[in-house]
Amino acid sequence: MPLTRLSEEEEIFRSTVRDFAEERVRPRVAEMERDAAQPPDLLSELFELGLMGIEIPEELGGAGASFFMSILAIEEISRVDPALAVPVDIQNTLMANLFMRWGNEEQRNQYLPRLARDTLGSYALSEANSGSDAFALQTRAVRDGKVYRLSGRKHWISNAQEAGLFVVFANADPEAGHRGITAFILERDMPGFVVGRKEDKLGVRASSTCELVLDEVEVPEANVLGEVGQGYKVAIETLNEGRIGIGAQMLGLAEGALEGALAYSGERKAFGQRIGDFQAVQHLLAECATDVETTRLHVYNAARVRDAGLPCVREGAMAKLVASRVAESVASRCVDVYGGVGVTKECLAEKYLRDAKVAQIYEGTTFMQLNTIAKILQRDG
């Protein structure tokens, strides 16, 4: 069976998410872009539809579905607005996976129902001087009896403005280097924990990206996720799957841009005929469609490999690499189809182009994906 073919259950799920995106999200895209914010009622609807706990077991309040279903949801929402897909992506591919894989029974029972029901999560790894070199982080966790005191600053943290639950990475043993890095569970209302300035971004503007300030935040030892010193492994393995989510986000973006350009090429006339009748435009759209389908193969394959319980590091890196490049390229060519109107705010094409750029940066830059793929080739070659 071709990897892009969906089961009946997957087709129904995709259709449900697409209907939501078209009927509830599309009418509000301009509003979200203008305000650089996600309406609370739309976020609530994501929870009500079960899109924030897709893989979380049913007994813990989730849908008990597959990782692949999460990828479909991210793709379909991104067709309409990649910014609203960010919380769906982070909630499913990062936060839920963190607790299901690394949480103990008490942590899973306490936090997974909240993530599925009404609490947005945020993954806090990056700092001002530790982006691609993520494990040069300077946030410290000092043991004080049965608590840890966390101090430092996190930067470029997605979902931060709306989140109620955070997984923060800090070094509990700086002398051990990356082997001292530990993952901690923080609640938004913990004393000394402040969500700071929101970034004014080029794209995905409705998705919040903020600084986090930690000033001697007292975190119980019970809030260590995984084991002390295991944060490096926790972060790396989770990001491997998160990259497939970014691939799905960019796949959806490219689909949305292409669909809009196709429709416009059938409406706009020049020199007495539709611009879609000109071979140059036909070839441009054909190339875009081929690139989108290539991306779909990479993203779907990576998700299927992950659901099969097989290693997906290479597949995830390739999916993100290809999808991030294709999204920018397709979005740019679709602006060309629109011509002058394509660079105006009244046209979604320019928004798709701005939204695409961040995928080459967050959750591992393009260069880091190439490094990962090259290392695996050298190891297995």
In a domain, 242, yes or no: yes
State whether 217 and 267 are in the same domain: no
User: Looking at residue 243, which CATH number applies to its domain?
Assistant: 1.20.140.10
State whether 47 and 107 are in the same domain: yes
Cross-strand partners of 187: 165
State whether 94 and 144 are in the same domain: no
Phi and psi angles of residue 166, each rounded to the nearest 5 degrees, phi first: -130, 140
State whether 113 and 196 are in the same domain: no
Looking at the structure of the chain, the number of domains it has is 3
Q: Of 164, 194, 229, which closes a domain?
A: 229
Distance, CA of 324 to CA of 37 (rounded, Å): 23
Residue with tokens 């539709």: 274
Distance, CA of 254 to CA of 252 (rounded, Å): 5
Distance, CA of 337 to CA of 341 (rounded, Å): 9
Contact 219, 148 (CB under 8 A): yes
User: Looking at residue 169, which CATH number applies to its domain?
Assistant: 2.40.110.10
State whether 50 and 154 are in the same domain: no
State whether 290 and 346 are in the same domain: yes
In a domain, 353, yes or no: yes
Q: Which of 55, 75, 315, 363 is catalytic?
A: 363
In a domain, 323, yes or no: yes
Phi and psi angles of residue 343, each rounded to the nearest 5 degrees, phi first: -100, 10
Distance, CA of 369 to CA of 365 (rounded, Å): 6
Residue with tokens 């966390």: 150
| pLDDT at residue 376, as a whole number | 97
User: Looking at residue 16, which CATH number applies to its domain?
Assistant: 1.10.540.10
State whether 375 and 267 are in the same domain: yes
State whether 142 and 247 are in the same domain: no
Phi and psi angles of residue 158, each rounded to the nearest 5 degrees, phi first: -70, 150
State whether 221 and 280 are in the same domain: no
| pLDDT at residue 132, as a whole number | 80
C-alpha to C-alpha distances, 97 to 108, 149, 176, nearest whole angstrom: 10, 25, 26
Distance, CA of 339 to CA of 265 (rounded, Å): 11
Burial class, 237, CB count within 10 angstroms (exposed 0-12 / middle 13-18 / buried 19+): middle
State whether 274 and 348 are in the same domain: yes
In a domain, 1, yes or no: no
Q: Is 363 a catalytic residue?
A: yes
In a domain, 2, yes or no: no
Joined tokens for residue 336: 């060309």
Question: Amino acid identity, residue 231?
Answer: G
Cβ count near 272 (within 10 Å): 6
Q: Quote the DSSP letter at residue 115.
A: H
226 φ/ψ sector (left φ>0, alpha ψ -120 to 50, else beta): left
In a domain, 3, yes or no: no
Query: Strand 165-171 and strand 181-187: pairing?
Result: antiparallel
Q: Which domain holds residue 361?
A: 232-380
State whether 145 and 238 are in the same domain: no
Q: Of 229, 255, 279, which closes a domain?
A: 229
In a domain, 273, yes or no: yes
What sign results for the dihedral spanned by CA atoms 238, 239, 243, 245?
positive
Question: Amino acid identity, residue 365?
Answer: T
Angle at 213 between CA 212 and CA 215, to 5 degrees: 150
In a domain, 144, yes or no: yes
Q: What b-and-e string marks burial along 314-329, b requiring 16 or more CB atoms within 10 Å of the CB?
A: bbbbbbbbbbbbbbbb
Type and span of the H or E element at 167 = strand 165-171
| pLDDT at residue 3, as a whole number | 55
Per-residue pLDDT of the chain in tens (381 residues, 90 and over written 9): 345 789 999 999 999 999 999 999 999 999 999 999 999 999 999 999 999 999 999 999 999 999 999 999 999 999 999 999 999 999 999 999 999 999 999 999 999 999 999 999 999 999 999 878 877 899 999 999 999 999 999 999 999 999 999 999 999 999 999 999 999 999 999 999 999 999 999 999 999 999 999 999 999 999 999 999 999 999 999 999 999 999 999 999 999 999 999 999 999 999 999 999 999 999 999 999 999 999 999 999 999 999 999 999 999 999 999 999 999 999 999 999 999 999 999 899 999 999 999 999 999 999 999 999 999 999 997
State whether 330 and 220 are in the same domain: no
Residue with tokens 């320019």: 350
Q: Of 87, 120, 153, which closes a domain?
A: 120
